[in-house]
Amino acid sequence: MATTTDFAKYLSRFLSEYLPHERNVSKNTMSAYRDAFVQYIDYMKSECNVPVERLYLKHLNRDNVIGYLKWIIEERHCSPATRNYRLAAMHSFVSYLQYIVVEQSEEWQKVLSIKAMRTEVKALNYLSTEGIRLLLAQPDTTTRQGRRHLAILSLMYDTGDRVQEMADLTIESARIDQEPYSIRIKGKGNRARIVPMAKEQVVILRQYMEENHLNDSNKYGNPLFFNNRHEKMTREGIAYILKTYVNMARNISPGLIPKPISCHSIRHSKAMHLLESGVNLVYVRDILGHVSIQTTDIYARADSKAKREALERAYVDLNPTSPCEWKRNKDLREWLKGYNR
């Protein structure tokens, strides 16, 4: 690296040593942090006239960070959520610096005091069980490609995987030789979890694996799903497959397929269906791979059907059987004039 400033030195160590080896963060987090600092360097050059070769840690102060966050919203037209992701990257870097460059601890604390922006809490977008059934009926299973796509979509729903988790699955992840059937998923922060699979799902997955000769022990480390070039599926590739069949299903029944539907909507759908079936929230948390039950609790709050049924079960009719007093008086105005005197 040609740049030799203290900012460059510590940022390179943060990204190449601290995050992967001490924090063990995922590649996606690394990419997000990288993008945040690329934008920060661009901001300092274009708005503060400080090119990267003259960018020092002294420039990483509260005023510049706040200016950068304002810039990405007003000039780059990023959402408040993206702004908060960029702030999280800054906070992480500064938290790292406060134990190394202690003489600037006061400034690091000022940066850490910058708050995340409030974001709109959107309603969860998910499909009903009928919507999922319609979606999974779209792939043409008379073709090899259609059978592969059905295996991808059905597994994504059955396990509630994130799209990156689907892309990262290897052949050895699937444990379908004997019951109980399960799949090993590597989630955020490289945390692994074991998710059970339904027998019906295993039938589809087993047929896919047999058709593509994936039962060879020499291939266990290979990707479970791959493209036409036999390369590992990407997030974009899986999203494209989903979009294709979502559009087909929407043309058949628009009411069952709301807009927009993403890969994460399939994950939301699985969580909601588990809750509607009475599965304990703690089990839903473990299946989805959430660290905190508070994250999973959004599904319980969003389950309007469960709320309605609970209210109906708890309802006791306490209303008076006789008509309201004012209804016995045809002249409401006169009744109101004399009421409570």
pLDDT per residue as tens digits for the range 236-271: 999 999 999 999 999 999 999 988 899 999 999 998
- Domain regions of the chain by residue span: 6-112, 129-309
From CA 29, how far away is CA 44, in angstroms rounded? 23
| Active-site residue, selected from the candidate residues 23, 91, 110, 188 | 188
Q: How far apart are the first and last CA of the chain?
A: 87
From CA 57, how far away is CA 36, in angstroms rounded? 16
13 is catalytic: no
Least confident stretch, 26-30, 211-215, 263-267: 26-30
273 is catalytic: no
276, pLDDT greater than 90: no
Which CATH code fits 129-309?
A: 1.10.443.10
Q: SS3 of 196, please?
A: strand
What is the H or E stretch that residue 89 is in? helix 80-97
| Active-site residue, selected from the candidate residues 86, 148, 162, 250 | 162
162 is catalytic: yes
pTM of this prediction exceeds 0.85: no
Least confident stretch, 179-183, 216-220, 229-233, 241-245: 216-220
Residue 221 pLDDT grade (very low, low, confident, very high; cuts 50, 70, 90) = confident
Kindly state the average pLDDT of the residues 178-183.
Answer: 90
Kindly state the average pLDDT of the residues 326-334.
Answer: 60
pLDDT at residue 182 in the model? 92
From CA 185, how far away is CA 164, in angstroms rounded? 10
327 is catalytic: no
pLDDT tens digits, 31-65: 899 999 999 999 999 999 999 999 999 999 999 99
pLDDT at residue 19 in the model? 92
For the chain, the average pLDDT equals 87
pLDDT at residue 316 in the model? 55
Token pair for 169 = 């699955």
pLDDT tens digits, 105-153: 999 999 999 999 988 766 678 899 999 999 999 999 999 999 999 999 9
Token pair for 178 = 């004997």
Tell the burial category of 136 from Cβ atoms under 10 Å away from its Cβ (0-12, 13-18, 19+): middle
333 is catalytic: no
74, pLDDT greater than 70: yes
126 is catalytic: no
pLDDT at residue 25 in the model? 85
Which of the two residues, 165 and 327, has the higher pLDDT score?
A: 165
The CATH number corresponding to 6-112 among 1.10.3470, 1.10.10, 3.30.43, 1.10.150 equals 1.10.150
pLDDT at residue 335 in the model? 67
- Residue at token pair 């009928």: 130
Q: SS3 of 232, please?
A: strand
Q: Dihedral of the CA atoms 235, 116, 293, 234 (nearest 10)? A: 0
